[in-house]
Amino acid sequence: MPPQDALTSSVAFKAQLWDDNPIFRQVLGICSTLAVTNYMFNTMLMCIGLIWATTMSSLTVSLLREFTPKRVRIMVQVLIISVYVIVVSVAMQVWYPDIYRSISAYVGLIITNCIVLGRLEAFANKNPVVASTADGFGAGVGYSFILMAIATVREYLGFRTLFGYAAPTPFADQEWVIMIMPPGAFFVLALAVWVARGYDLKRQAAKESAS
């Protein structure tokens, strides 16, 4: 039988992927969802940055949870998130300066992303290190796969490309400019939430009828 912490880690990770998914369950991180998803490449980089920030922040906050006074915990959490986001920012400026130039505005936005602070306050602040790290990583991955799905639809319909490469299309060769504008993100996000929740309801109904 696996140790309790490992079991909790697995549960925490899986919950963030689907049952408590930050985007379509908790409806968190919507600002960046609207801002970055018109290009798959930009979205992918934003997701990598967010996975790093949620994972490392959760790990650090969990490590310090016994020592952090309750009345200053939010300040400490924001400080920790900022440090890890600045690490991402500096690393990109050193090793990937061209990419940084195209998404620098979004990297800074990770600090204010509700998902990161939300997971620290809701989970990492109260749970062991391994489980908290798994929770943070799961939240990042759960956010990422929804974002990538939205970006795929928006870039394909808006530019007729995928990751910047021309993609074949059965439709008339007309780009839907609205898809790369913020309203396009609202439409696709709403559809994504609808599809995911609809699937979830069907799955639960099937489970209940089976039991």
Partner 1 sequence: MNIDTAKPAYVIVYTAVISAIFTATIMTLNVVATPAIEQNELVFKNRALVEILFEDAGASNLPEPPGQMSEQEILAVFDNRVYRSTLTVPETGQVIDLWTGYRSDVTRRGDEVTAIPPVEDVVGYAIRINGVGFWEPIEGYVALGPELTYSRGVVFTRQGETPGLGAKITEEEFRNQWAPQRELRLDPPESGDKHVYISKRNREDIPPQSPEKNRHVDAITGATQTSIAVMKFVNDDLATFYRAARAAELLSQGPPSPQQAATPTDQPETPAENQ
- Position among 93, 114, 128, 187 found at the interface with partner 1 (CB under 8 A): 93
Number of residues that bind partner 1 (CB under 8 A): 33
Is residue 4 a contact point for partner 1 (CB under 8 A)? no
- Which region, judged by CB under 8 A, interacts with partner 1, from 81-89, 107-115, 129-137, 200-208? 81-89
**CB of 143 closer than 8 Å to CB of 29:** yes
CB atoms within 10 A of CB 158: 20
Q: How many residues does the chain have?
A: 211
Element (H, E) at 201: helix 182-210
Segment 15-54, which members bind partner 1 (CB under 8 A)? 36, 38-39, 42
169's tokens: 């299309």
- Confirm or reject binding of residue 189 to partner 1 (CB under 8 A): no
Please name every residue paired with 165 in a beta bridge, in sequence order, or none if there are none: 162
Element (H, E) at 166: strand 165-166
Tell me how far apart the terminal alpha carbons of the chain are, to the nearest angstrom: 26
Contact between 166 and partner 1 by CB under 8 A: the answer reads no
Compute the least distance from the CB of residue 124 to partner 1, in Å: 15
Structure tokens at 68: 């952090």
Q: Which one among 6, 7, 27, 72 touches partner 1, defined by CB under 8 A?
A: 72
Of 36 and 120, CB closest to partner 1:
36
Contact 81, 54 (CB under 8 A): no
**Would you tell me which residues interact with partner 1 (CB under 8 A)?**
36, 38-39, 42, 64, 66-72, 75-76, 79-80, 82-83, 86-87, 90, 93-94, 97-98, 101-102, 105, 158-159, 177, 180-181
